[in-house]
Amino acid sequence: MTGKSYDAIVIGAGHNGLTNAAFLARAGLRTLVLEKNHYTGGATVSRELHEGWKYSNCSYVCSLFRPEIYNALDLGRHGLKVIPLTASMTFKQDGDYFGSYHDPHARRRELMRHNLRDADAAVRFDADVMRWCRLIRGFLLRTPPDPGSFRPRDAFEFAYLLKKFYELSENQLYEFIRFFTMSIAEYLENYFEDETILAHYSGGSIIGTGLGVYSPGTAYVLLHHAMGDVDGNIGAWGFARGGMGAVSGAIASAFQAHGGELRNDAEVARILVSGNKAVGVRLTSGEELMARIVVSNLDARRTFTKIMDANDVPPSLLERARQFKIRGSSGKLNIALDGMPTFPALPDDSPLTLGHMHFTDTLERLERAYDDWKDDRWSADPYADTLIPSQYDPTLAPPGKHMMTVFVQYCPVEPDGGWTDEKRDRFGRTVIDQIADYSPDFKDLILHAEIRTPRELEDEVGLTEGNIFQGELTFDQLLFNRPFPGYAQYRGPVKGMYMCGSSTHPGGGVMGAPGTNAAREILRDLRRPDTTPEAFSDD
C-alpha cells in the first residue's frame, strides 16, 4: 500500500462535494477532493466549448444556493457575484405574450391585461406560497429524523418539526398537505383562470422531473422558485457572473484557503473498506490514498453499485440502490449567437428578454410534452426554459455576441433503439425550430450549438441516467426516505463512509445543503466543533 494519508477524502468535485470538503477543511481536517474530470465543478461549471464563449453547460441558474453557506464560506470574497434574475415570460401562439415583471406594479398591470380576477388572485397566491416557503426554508439545513429509530436525537427532531408545523392554524395545516400532494396545474387552478398564466407558472414545476403538470406532487416545486434568496431578494433567481463555474470556483477557492487539496483527473475506482470501516480509496490509475473518512458526492446508485465492493454493502441496500429512481428527463442546448435575436411579439427594449423565456402557452401542450416522455420519446413540442445571460454578463460572449442557454423538458433516458448522434441532433432541431417560430432571425445567428441529452450528462458528468437531481424527487425519495429508508442521515453502510450529493436530503438544485448537512454529521461523529452554519431564523 502506497500513497499519502488524509483525514478525509471527498469523491467528486461537484458543488456539494466542494461545500462538504470546505466545511471539513475549515474544521481543521486534512481534506482531499478527487475529481475524475480535468475541470472542477461537476454539473456546476462554465466551459469554453466554442472559442470566446462560456457555457454553463449543465446547471444554469442559482436561486437555491443557501445564503447561510455563502456567508459562512465568505464566497463573495472568493469571487462569487450573483445577479438577480427577476423577469420571466411566455410567448403565446396568437402573437401575444404574458410577462411576469420584477416591478410589482408592472406585473399587476400585465396580469390585469390578461385576466382581472387573476390579478387579484395573485395577491392571495403570493402570500400563500411565501408562507410555505418560510416554513420549509428552516428545514433545509437540518438532518431528517429517522422514523425507525428510538434515539432521543431523532425523537427530538420529530418533536421540533411537529412544533414548527403546529405554529400553523388548522386550516393552514390542511392547505399545506394539499400544497405538498397536489399537481401544479390543479393547485394553480385554485387561483388562476387564464390559460397562459396557468401554463406560465406551471412550467417551472416539471423541470428535471419525471412528472407532468397534472401529476400529483408537482405543486410544491413552486418553492424552488419562491425559496431563492439572491442578495436578499427572496423569490429571485440568480445568475452567477462568469457562469455556474463561478459558484464551484468560489467554493473550491474557499476550500483551498482552508488548506484543502484538490486533484483533477483522479477517478476513484473503489472505496476501500477494511473491518467494516472505510479506510481510503483506490484510483483507476491503481494509486491508493488512505483516509479515515470517505465521502461520496456521486449519486446513490453509482456510489453503491460502481465504486463500492458488493461485499461491503448489505444486500438489501444494494437492492435499494439498483432500484433507486433516477430517470433523467431533461436536455440542454447551449448556443453561441452572432447577435441578439429579435422577438417580434415583444415591444422594443422590453425587459422580458432579460429573464426566462418560454414558448408553451397551455397546460395541454405541457402535459402532452410529458406523454411523449412516458413513451420514451423527446417532446415534439417541448417546454424550453430559455435565457440569454450575456445581456448582463459580458464575460460570457465577445462584445456584440450572445450566449443562449435552453433547458429542455422532456428528453428520454433512452429513446427507442438508443441514442445516436443523429437522434441527438434531431432533438436539438426540435428545440431550435420551436424558438425560431417566435424569433425569425434566430436560426441565422447560430454560430455553434452544444446539444445535451441524458446520455451526454451521464457520460461527461457522471449523473446516472442523466438525472439532474441525482435521483427523482418523489415522495419515496424525499426527507427520511432520501436516498433510502434508514440511510437518510448521510452515513453509509460502513463506518467512516458518508454521502453528500444531491441524492441525499434535501435533494437537487445548486443549493449546497446536502454537502453542508453531511459535513455536520461527519464532524459530529468525529466530535469536532461544528463549522457549518445554522439556518437563518425566519426573517
Partner 1 sequence: MTTDRYDAVVIGAGHNGLVCAGYLANAGMRVLVCEASPAIGGMAAERRFGDGKQYSLPALAHLQFPVATTLREDLKLDSFGYSAGDPVETVTLARDSEPVILGAENVRGGTLGDADIAAYPDFSKRYREFAAALAPLFETKPPRLRNPAGGDRSTFMRLGWKVRFGLGRENMYEFLRVAAINVYDVLNEVFDDERLKAAIAFDAVIGNAMGPRTPGTVLAWLQRLHSERHGPPALSNGTLVAALARSAETAGAVIRPGCEIERIVVENGRATGVALAGGETLEAGIVVSGIDPRATFLRLVGAPQLDAMFANRVRQIRGAGVVGKLHLGLEGLPEFSGIDASQLRDRLLIAPSMRHIERAFNASKYGECSEHPVFEITVPSLADPSLAPEGRHVMSVNVAYLPFGLKGGWAENRSAVVRHLLAELESYAPGIASQVTDHELLSPADIERDYGAVEGHWHHGELSIHQSLMLRPLYGAAQYDTPVERLYLCSAGCHPGGGVTGLPGRNAAKRILEPGAVS
- Residue 522 Cβ, how far from partner 1 at the closest point, in Å? 24
Closer residue to partner 1 in complex, CB, 459/476: 476
Distances (CA, A) of 256 to 73, 148, 518: 11, 39, 19
Amino acid at 254: A
CB of 524 to partner 1, least distance (A): 23
Q: Give dist(CA 36, CA 460) in Å, integer.
A: 10
Give, as ranges, the residues between 458 and 497 that touch partner 1 (CB under 8 A).
474-476, 480-481, 485-486
Residues 375-404, mask of contacts with partner 1 (x by CB under 8 A): x-----------------------------
Q: Which is nearer to partner 1, 200 or 482 (CB)?
A: 482
In the complex with partner 1, which residue's Cβ is closer, 222 or 240?
222
Name the amino acid, one letter, at 77: R
Determine phi and psi for 41, rounding to 5 degrees. 125, -15
What is the rounded CA–CA span in Å between residue 230 and residue 250? 16
Let me know: does 468 contact 328? Beta carbons within 8 Å: yes
Enumerate residues 6+ apart whose C-beta is below 8 A from 190: none
Closest contact distance (angstroms) between CB of 149 and partner 1 is 9
Q: Which helix (H) or strand (E) holds 89?
A: strand 88-91
Which span sits near partner 1 by CB under 8 A: 108-116, 163-171, 397-405, 519-527? Answer: 163-171
CB of 1 to partner 1, least distance (A): 38
Selected from 217, 331, 492, 512, the binder of partner 1 by CB under 8 A is 217
**Closest distance between partner 1 and the C-beta of residue 458, in Å?**
20
Shortest distance, CB of residue 171 to partner 1, whole angstroms? 6
Beta-strand (E) ranges in 347-486? Answer: 356-358, 383-387, 402-409, 446-452
**Separation of alpha carbons 82 and 285, rounded Å:** 38
Residue with cell 461537484: 14
- What cell numbers appear for 325 in the block? 429512481
CA angle 129, 135, 138 (to 5 degrees): 135
**Shortest distance in whole angstroms from residue 161 CB to partner 1:** 14
Q: Does 170 bind partner 1 (CB under 8 A)?
A: yes
Residues 233-272: x/- map of binding to partner 1 (CB under 8 A)? ----------------------------------------
Residues 111-150 that bind partner 1 (CB under 8 A): 147-148
Q: Give the span between the Cα atoms of 517 and 512, in whole angstroms.
A: 9
Q: How far is the CB of 484 from partner 1 (least distance, A)?
A: 8
367 binds partner 1 (CB under 8 A): yes
Which cell is 95 given? 402573437
413 — phi, psi (to 5°)? Answer: -60, -45
244, 207 Cβ separation under 8 angstroms? no
Whether the Cβ atoms of residue 431 and residue 406 lie closer than 8 Å to each other: yes
**Stretch in the footprint of partner 1 (CB under 8 A) among 301-309, 370-378, 430-438, 498-506:** 370-378
Give the nearest distance from C-beta 366 to partner 1 in angstroms. Answer: 11
Single out the residue of 120, 186, 195, 261 in contact with partner 1 (rule: CB under 8 A).
186
Q: How many helices (H) and strands (E) would you count in the chain?
A: 17, 20
What residues line the site for partner 1 (CB under 8 A)?
147-148, 166, 169-171, 173-174, 177-178, 181-182, 186, 189-190, 211, 214-217, 323, 325, 364, 367-368, 371, 374-375, 474-476, 480-481, 485-486
